[in-house]
Amino acid sequence: MRESIPKPRVGARLPKAVPFALRAVHAMLRPVSTTNRPRGVAPSSAQPIATVGDVGRPSMWASMRATMLSPRLRSVALLQFSSSLPLGLVWIAIPAWMARIGVDIKIIGLFGLAQLPWTVKFLWSPLVDRFSLPFLGRKRSWIFLSQLLLIALSFWLAHAAATPVAVAVVGALSLATAFASATQDIAIDAYAVEVLERHEHGSAVAVRALFGRVAMLLSGGVAITAAAMTSWRLVHVLLALCYVPMLFVTWLAPEPRERPAAPLRLRAAVWEPFVGFFAQERAIAILAFVVLFKLTDNLTQSLLRPFFVQIGFGDWDVGFGTMAVGTIAMVLGTMAGGLLSQSWGLGRALWIFGMLQMLSNLGYAVVAQVGANRLVLYSAQTLEMGCSGLGTGAFSVLLLRLTQKRFSATQYALLSSLMALTRTLTGPLAGVLVAALGWRDFFILSVPTGLPALLLLRRFVPWGARDPQFSASSDATG
């Protein structure tokens, strides 16, 4: 059954003496009802593929205000900080640490294998759906256990940094950290699916993007700088202590209003998530859309740094400059994409942002034509990364809507892994295309690679439809 946001109580009118501008701001920030249903009329139990037309929704500013007031959203935001903290450590800080102490670059390259658990986490996600620990809720207990493991592993890394570094030990600890982190991610994503109400999805995507990026910056770039000023031992100790407040967040986080029953057997936890997903209408088209929606972005972004070098930009622009500009644009775009998906409607956001992220690739074609012009480069980077963030924000809301609450761990882990599939496969393809076409024509050709996703989107969210409705996932939308 489709759920609507309860109609809020509206207080007394502002006095006439209040200026018109203040009354307008008051009206903009006031939550609005999401239903036009007359009083006394029960909601329909029908589940259309998409709803068309305008239905009242909270404005973007009302969504941001609701974020600050909702204990569910606050918990999800803070837990995302805990989720992203190990990413910066394993992806950025530890390779830099190894390079600083003179480890061979070939060995450092092998540290990339430590990222494998994040790619294949769906393999053990059914365990999180099926079993629970004898304290807290089913998902929160897994989060709590993962955080304890991450604290222990961080202190172990600190001990390794205090002695002559054994590279094999650091590599093993990196892999163990990634495994504990991937397990924490499974549980946190599943908790977000279960605890959030449908109307909170957009705000949740926005705040998760912000807190996640702050955590990665802290455990990545800030950790490297702090280690240069102090020591890696102290840095690992401080990172371990960062998880301690997260234990309290996990302990105090609210449980979902409705707790879905756990699968009775592990076999059911493995098999039934697939049956449940494919029971909905147009499941194949939806699944193909999940795989292809970010294809145009992943194809374009796979070789950006080599592109910048070959065009003639210096190390500053190739490294810090474009990374800083791109990161800011991506975070702001993702936050805006999540919030606008809530106020505009998810269907409209997927269409508009899907087209924008496709067309924004042309900015790099301009860079390839003009050459090493810093203003053109940063403008193209801001445009492409910002539009990519808009698409990511809307797409993240879609994943929350698609996931059934009973199988929240397995389905969300699988969908997010499918989303990342093209990121893995596009690198070799991009290299072949650049060699055959040149940089300018490559970026022009990347634009139509976004069309298959839009054609699939038309199957379950026609143009002009405000929101998709998934017939088999009514228990997933909160």
HEC sequence for 38-81: CCCCCCCCCCCCEEECCCCCCCHHHHHHHHHHCHHHHHHHHHHH
Query: Is 0.85 surpassed by the pTM of this model?
Result: no
> Residue 16: exposed, middle, or buried by beta-carbon count in 10 A (0-12, 13-18, 19+)?
exposed
Dihedral sign (CA 383, 394, 291, 142): positive
Q: How many CB atoms lie within 10 A of CB 228?
A: 12
CATH domain 67-259 topology? Growth Hormone; Chain: A; (1.20.1250)
Report the C-alpha gap between 205 and 87 in whole angstroms. 18
Dihedral sign (CA 167, 169, 172, 174): negative
Report the C-alpha gap between 229 and 18 in whole angstroms. 54
For domain 268-476, the CATH superfamily is MFS general substrate transporter like domains (1.20.1250.20)
Let me know if the fold of 67-259 is the same as that of 268-476: yes
Torsion (CA) 177, 181, 184, 189 in degrees, nearest 10: -170
Dihedral sign (CA 121, 124, 127, 133): negative
Q: Which helix (H) or strand (E) holds 468?
A: strand 465-468
Q: Which two tokens stand for residue 149?
A: 């493991």
Query: Which pLDDT score is estimated for 370?
Result: 92
What's CA 297's distance to the chain center, in Å?
15
Report the C-alpha gap between 331 and 217 in whole angstroms. 12
What's CA 354's distance to the chain center, in Å?
16
Tens of pLDDT, residue by residue, the chain (478 residues)? 344 444 444 444 434 433 333 343 333 333 333 333 433 334 333 333 444 444 445 555 565 565 567 888 889 989 999 999 998 898 888 888 888 888 887 788 778 788 888 888 888 988 888 888 888 888 999 999 999 999 999 999 999 888 776 888 999 999 999 999 999 999 999 999 888 888 888 888 888 888 988 898 888 878 888 888 889 999 999 999 999 999 999 999 998 887 777 777 777 788 888 877 777 778 888 889 999 999 999 888 878 888 888 888 887 887 677 778 888 998 899 989 988 988 888 889 999 999 999 999 999 999 999 988 999 999 999 999 999 999 999 998 898 888 888 788 888 888 888 887 787 677 778 888 888 899 999 999 999 999 999 999 988 888 878 877 765 444 544 3
- In the chain, what are the domain boundaries? 67-259, 268-476
